[in-house]
Homo-oligomer: A and B are copies of this chain.
Amino acid sequence: MSPKITTELLKQLRQVMKSPKYVREPVQAYIVPSGDAHQSEYIAPCDCRRAFISGFDGSAGTAIVTELHAAMWTDGRYFLQAAHQMDNNWTLMKMGLKDTPTQEDWLVSVLPEGSKVGVDPFIIPADQWKRMSKALRSAGHDLVPIKENLVDTIWTDCPQRPCKPLLTLDLSYTGVSWRDKIVALRSKMSERKVLWFVVTALDEVAWLFNLRGSDVEYNPVFFAYAVIGMNTIRLFIDGDRMMDPAVREHLQLDSTLEPEFKIQVMPYGSILSELQAVGASLLPKEKVWLSDKASYALTEAIPKAYRYLTPYTPICIAKAVKNVLETEGMRRAHIKDAVALCELFNWLEKEVPKGTVTEIIAADKAEEFRSQQKDFVELSFATISSTGPNGAIIHYKPVPETNRTLSVNEIYLLDSGAQYKDGTTDVTRTMHFGTPSAYEKECFTYVLKGHIAVSAAIFPNGTKGHLLDSFARSALWDCGLDYLHGTGHGVGSFLNVHEGPCGISYKTFADEPLEAGMIVSDEPGYYEDGSFGIRIENVVLVIPAETKYNFKNRGSLTFEPLTLVPIQTKMIDVNLLTQKECNWVNDYHQKCRKVIGAELERQGRHEALQWLIRETEPLFRVQ
């Protein structure tokens, strides 16, 4: 990797920061955040403005350019990468280190008195704006919205915003029509006495209208906004895609519908002016519901007194609870995904000893097997295919510079998943193709105990996921070990592989209580820098639990694994398991054998079936 030369670019940016063509008054600093206008996790090439201006293309980072300085804030995952990719015009601000100033403090320290700091109001979320603006104002500076994105003005070969065809999902996939979803949303709006709801997150638009797209990688979404009134539906979306007869039919654009279900299609770019018109039309006490993560521009379109902001929208919460058809789809997707992984691991078992399989080859092979499955769409995230020390890099993605060859001497960690038309998968298995050491087995077994402790946990209805996080760590803690990431995240149904509002983490963010039908991952791990990484991840469905008693009639919940891929018994030190844990493993493997075995059989994949049968032999404790 050689750094991007940014001298000329920064010169140009500093010019437009003073140009009356773009700014009413010159700005002394300009902030280039990572995100897009929807706060998406994965962004389109046209939104990679921070990577364009700096060269640093990691997933997290904020650039700030002043007359004299250019600085980049990023976290520990990216210190090395950012240092390699940026030239010496840039100062790397290592977040999480004690001496690293916050963006606000740094700005205050370098700016001349009474400065103006510019930012694109469409990219910065309202809550961040508020914090930053307050800090700057208290030091005598001003945060100002710059309508035109200044990076875009100098990005001459900026790629076009993607505008790919849409996929319509019928009731057999979604279980609920978009009309019924609108009805349910309006009823939530009535409850809270709001008149309008603004949909800004891309997965929320996709879910609401039972549509999918491919405008960004991994997340099957498309660029759009929606504004739902009690009697109106406005969808802001660009391109020919709305000419597609299947889409027109799906949205009933050409039918004579009751007016309250008639969708008005408007240009993507007109959201702001339309929302400003809504804002201007409001009577006292009328409210507009927005996520508190919506952009500053859209939030400001509604006068403050009329805003109703919540951390999670009613769509986010409804979307998290999967209905019967979505759950069945998720089950089907996970069966197909398991078939692909049985094929892969069987193949690796034969090929790894030859010394010809690299991390990239293994990742490609996994994709190849998945793509053979029905309704495969794409991967659900960049495959983490890592062997030996690379496994200890939690967000590793193999690239030619780091690509390692799998061997019989190292642990291999594969964290991968796919989008199928009926569901989204995300699974991690940690394998050894030779003979693991006693220490590797010991660590693996602690991680497994944590995985089981969460998966088999029974807890009252209304419990928040963060209350389960310590169960995953207890066996590791007993030996002085731990892992520095959360235990699980919400998973979408043929949607984003990471979604709110639930999760399992020691970070007590505002997670919503778990309820039956929610789907999360269960993925404890252990990482030894420079040596190996271990993670065992299943996607699990929240289901009602049968219990002996029923305190206050609250009811109980537990998890059902949707992922059905064998956990390598070779890595387990069975004598560290309790009998209950041992039974859990055997029951799980029994189910893998039955369900995935039948599908392997049906698909005529006999060799993989033999592998599955071998890998699901029951364990016995010798104590």
Contacts and interface: CB of A to CB of B under 8 A. Distances in A.
A132 to B, nearest CB: 19
A620 interface: no
A588 B554 CA distance: 35
Given A466-B508, A508-B466, A508-B508, A547 B471 contact: no
B457 A477 contact: yes
Interface string A428-467: 0000000000000000000000000000011110000011
A506 B467 contact: yes
Nearest to A305: B138
Copies in the complex: 2
The interface centre, meaning the residue of A467, A480, A551 with most chain B CB atoms within 10 A of its CB, is A480
Contacts of A482: 460, 551-552, 554
A477 B458 contact: yes
The interface centre, meaning the residue of A478, A508, A545 with most chain B CB atoms within 10 A of its CB, is A478
A556 interface: yes
A550 interface: yes
A549 B480 contact: yes
A474 interface: yes
Interface string A497-515: 0000000001010000000
Nearest to A554: B482
A28 B469 CA distance: 49
Given A471-B474, A508-B508, A548 B480 contact: yes
B460 A556 contact: no
A549 B556 CA distance: 36
A479 interface: yes
Interface string A57-80: 000000000000000000000000
A303 B104 CA distance: 23
Nearest to A446: B549
Contact of A547 (B457, B468, B478, B552): B478
Contacts of A551: 476, 480-482
A477 B506 contact: no
A583 interface: no
Nearest to A443: B549
Nearest to A468: B470
Contacts of A480: 458, 460, 545, 547-551, 556
A291 to B, nearest CB: 22
A549 B459 contact: no
Contact of A471 (B470, B479, B554): B470
A545 B549 CA distance: 36
Contact of A477 (B459, B466, B478, B481): B459
A484 to B, nearest CB: 8
A478 B481 CA distance: 26
A61 to B, nearest CB: 24
Given A508-B466, A551-B482, A460 B474 contact: no
The interface centre, meaning the residue of A469, A481, A508 with most chain B CB atoms within 10 A of its CB, is A481
Given A468-B470, A470-B471, A458 B478 contact: yes
Contacts of A479: 547-549
A480 B474 CA distance: 22
Nearest to A481: B551
A471 B479 CA distance: 17
Nearest to A527: B551
A612 B548 CA distance: 35
Contacts of A578: 578
A476 B549 CA distance: 10
A552 B528 CA distance: 9
B481 A457 contact: no
A434 to B, nearest CB: 24
A547 B480 CA distance: 5
Contacts of A458: 477-478, 480
A458 to B, nearest CB: 5
A447 B514 CA distance: 24
Interface string A109-130: 0000000000000000000000
A480 B549 CA distance: 5
A281 to B, nearest CB: 22
A515 to B, nearest CB: 16
Contacts of A470: 459, 467-468, 470-471
A593 to B, nearest CB: 27
A620 to B, nearest CB: 19
A554 B481 CA distance: 9
A551 B481 CA distance: 5
A457 B469 contact: no
Interface string A480-495: 1110000000000000
Nearest to A508: B508
Contacts of A556: 477, 480
Contacts of A554: 482
17 contacts: A457-B474, A458-B480, A459-B470, A460-B477, A460-B480, A467-B469, A467-B470, A467-B506, A470-B470, A476-B551, A478-B547, A479-B547, A479-B548, A479-B549, A480-B548, A481-B549, A482-B554
- The 9 tightest CB contacts between A and B, nearest first, are A480-B547, A480-B549, A508-B508, A479-B548, A481-B551, A480-B550, A467-B470, A482-B551, A458-B478
Given A467-B469, A470-B470, A476-B551, 14 more contacts: A457-B474, A458-B477, A458-B480, A460-B477, A460-B480, A467-B470, A470-B471, A471-B474, A479-B547, A480-B545, A480-B548, A481-B551, A482-B554, A578-B578
